[in-house]
Amino acid sequence: MKVKVVDNLCIGCGACAALVPDEFDINDNGIAYALNSKVKDNNKDLVKDAKENCPTGAISVEENE
Ligand code: SF4
């Protein structure tokens, strides 16, 4: 599984990084980014939750990669 943050949709609320700090961080511009090229197996459900809870729909998940 891969996860991406669409920069121009993210408002930097920090919810994703708070929920899954292993997978998301906030950059110097206040925008979230994915920390890993592939989501760790034990974080997959949390990453899906982060996607569902992102207030702007900025998180996209590719299940098959
Ligand atoms: S939850 Fe969404 S809007 Fe908030 S920091 Fe993460 S990607 Fe950005």
The CATH number covering residue 40 comes to 3.30.70.20
- Over residues 26-63, the pLDDT tens digits come to 999 999 999 999 999 999 999 999 999 999 999 999 99
Cα of 41 vs centre of ligand 1, distance in Å, is 21
Q: Pick the atom of ligand 1 nearest to 6's CA.
A: 7
Give the confidence band of 64 by pLDDT, cuts at 50, 70, 90.
confident
Predicted structure pTM score: 0.94
Contacts 24+ apart (CB under 8 A), 35-42: 37/2, 38/1, 38/2, 38/65, 39/1, 39/2, 39/3
Structural domains in the chain (count) = 1
CA of 65 to the centre of ligand 1 (A): 22
- Residue whose pair of structure tokens reads 């207030």 in the numeric block: 55
Encode pLDDT of 7-28 as tens digits.
999 999 999 999 999 999 999 9
Ligand 1, atom 4: closest residue by C-alpha: 13
Instruction: Please report the atom of ligand 1 found closest to the CA of residue 13.
Output: 4
Structural domain containing residue 22: 2-62
